[in-house]
Amino acid sequence: MSQAPATIALVDDDRNILTSVSLALQAEGFTTRVYADGAAGLKGCIENPPDLAVVDIKMPRMDGMEMLRRLREKSDLPVIFLTSKDTEIDEALGLAMGADDYIGKPFSQRLLIERIRAVLRRTANRRNGAAESEPPAEPIVRGKLEMDPARHRVRWGGRDVALTVTEFLILDALAQRPGFVKSRDQLMDVAYAHDSYVDDRTIDSHIKRLRKKFRVVDHDFKAIETLYGVGYRFDQED
């Protein structure tokens, strides 16, 4: 049985972008849904979830940041942001809020399609466990931390912590070897496909977001340590 094509939601107030990107994705075998503003996109993504959403940041009625904030209250749907190329704050803030990737305007449709496929691969690998030829990844217990890769589930002190796919991959890399330092480059290799172009700021933003999420369930959370100029490590607590 052939696998159903992935459904991509496109949320942008520029109808030319909606039309051109939708046609390009359909030519690559994807199914698309288009929304002309954040309010419509949010409603569609919650009521009829796609496999991934590509969301512009600057839109009327509800911008992409607000859409993502509300979406993250209900869903860990993978999101790629479209940002203004000269607006670095968009990229950093979007990632900090839980976006899985970003791409600056103007952009190459081929690059966007590659990014979409990379995020979908990461999502599928994490949600389905390892490849069919490999045994499912074993749960990880590190002090108060419990991670179940096969179910994409994370708990801290018995309380659930909802993570995006990228956040999960970064935390998993750190928790695999408590006390050992992972450089930003090593974390980028784990969390992003080799054809994705990211920088140090991207990993820093994800780490900040991880800490913020864990501090919601434990305001004393300090397990992810920064070693300035070196990288990050997971400090296992008793």
> What pLDDT is attached to residue 192?
67
- Each residue's pLDDT tens digit, 49-58: 999 999 998 8
> What pLDDT is attached to residue 149?
79
- Each residue's pLDDT tens digit, 84-107: 755 554 555 556 567 788 787 888
Q: What share of the chain in percent tops pLDDT 90?
A: 40
More confident residue, 104 or 237: 104
- Averaged pLDDT for residues 103-115: 84
CA atoms within 13 A on the CB side of 46: 14
> What pLDDT is attached to residue 131?
44
Question: What is the CA angle 90-121-100, rounded to 5?
Answer: 15
Residue 164: Cβ within 10 Å count: 27
- Separation of alpha carbons 58 and 115, rounded Å: 20
> What pLDDT is attached to residue 95?
60
- Each residue's pLDDT tens digit, 161-179: 988 777 888 999 999 889 8
- Separation of alpha carbons 165 and 153, rounded Å: 11
pTM, rounded to two decimals: 0.58
Q: What is the DSSP string of 94-113?
A: HHHHT-SEEEEES--HHHHH
More confident residue, 202 or 237: 202
Helix (H, G, I), strand (E, B) or coil at 121: helix
> What pLDDT is attached to residue 1?
42
CA atoms within 13 A on the CB side of 50: 28
For the cut 90, the answer to whether the pLDDT of residue 39 exceeds it is yes
Longest Cα–Cα distance in the chain? 55
- Separation of alpha carbons 48 and 50, rounded Å: 7
Q: What's the one-letter identity of residue 201?
A: R
Q: What share of the chain in percent tops pLDDT 70?
A: 83
Residue-averaged pLDDT of the chain? 83
- Averaged pLDDT for residues 14-18: 93
